[in-house]
Amino acid sequence: MKITYSIDENDYLTFQLYTASNSALVKKRRFISRLVPAIAYLLLAVTFFYKGNITMIIAFGVLAVVWYFLYPFHDKNVYKRQYQKFIKENMNNKFGRPATLSFEAPLVKAKDEVSETKINYSEIESITEIPEMFLLKLKTNQSFILPKDKIENLETLKPFFESFETNEGIPYYVLSNWKWK
């Protein structure tokens, strides 16, 4: 099987957001950023409770609830903008270049304008399908990004990757509902 494709800025952004959504560290940071200010606002409400200031109790109580439930929408956009900025500054010369992946058991041959690499099937950790792309994750924590909208033989690719789970023992995950939240 031979796959020819290229990636663009949006493909790489989607990959970064998917990776972040599965990172324990990012999940923890986002949760703390959501929880700590809400708790601080509640503590301020409690302080005003002991002072008997009903207006401030209500104000900080409402602020705590609003922060806790609306902050994730803001946070989602902050992460997205940060990744977009990083990609524009550091990755812009990698987009639009044709690349090829050739699967010739027991090797994957990756080739682009700059390099050629051979990888044993045993080095593939998993294959993940999300709505926009397929991701071949290697045991070295690198990934091949295969955008569905830029692959010509897409209808044969899914069964081919599914066969890897049976024939090679490489997990194939379908996350058809994944989206950045």
Are residues 69 and 24 in contact, defined by beta-carbon separation less than 8 angstroms?
no
Q: What is the pLDDT of residue 11?
A: 94
CB neighbours of 42 closer than 8 A, spacing ≥ 6? 60, 61, 64
91 sits in the region (left: phi over 0; alpha: psi -120 to 50; else beta) called: alpha
Distance, in Å, from the CA atom of 34 to the CA atom of 36, rounded to the nearest integer, reads 6
For 21, the enclosing helix (H) or strand (E) is helix 9-21
For 50-73, write each residue's pLDDT tens digit: 999 999 999 999 999 999 999 999
Query: For the chain, which ranges sit under pLDDT 50?
Result: none
Q: What is the pLDDT of residue 63?
A: 96
Q: What is the pLDDT of residue 82?
A: 95
Tokens matching residue 99 = 């690349």
Q: What is the pLDDT of residue 113?
A: 87
Q: What does the domain layout of the chain look like in residue ranges?
A: 2-7+97-174, 11-93
Q: Which CATH number fits domain 2-7+97-174: 2.30.29.30, 3.40.91.10, 3.40.50.620, 1.20.1440.120?
A: 2.30.29.30
Per-residue CA distances from 159 to 100, 153, 166 (Å): 19, 11, 11
Are residues 173 and 35 in contact, defined by beta-carbon separation less than 8 angstroms?
no
